Amino acid sequence: MDRDTRKAAIAAAVILLVFGLAAYFLPAVMLAVGKVSTVLAAIVAVIFVLGLFVVLWLRGRSQRKKGL
């Protein structure tokens, strides 16, 4: 494993860890927000999913620019 692939693996692990923890706490957050508004709870879920795709899209663009 060279330096570039090691950095890519570490970045992927960090992304998975952060979104894994967020997904773990997402039901509790949605229930708390759902007491205020069910529409707001749905928006929280949509923002979580869109956030995951945006992070992965940005990571892919970064990797393409580096030629990896």
Separation of alpha carbons 22 and 12, rounded Å: 15
Condensed to tens digits (0 to 9), the pLDDT of residues 13-23 reads 999 999 999 99
pLDDT given for residue 68 in this prediction:
62
In this prediction the pTM is 0.76
DSSP secondary structure of the chain: --HHHHHHHHHHHHHHHHHHHHHHHHHHHHHHHHTT-HHHHHHHHHHHHHHHHHHHHHHHHHHHHHT-
Condensed to tens digits (0 to 9), the pLDDT of residues 42-68 reads 999 999 999 999 998 998 898 888 776
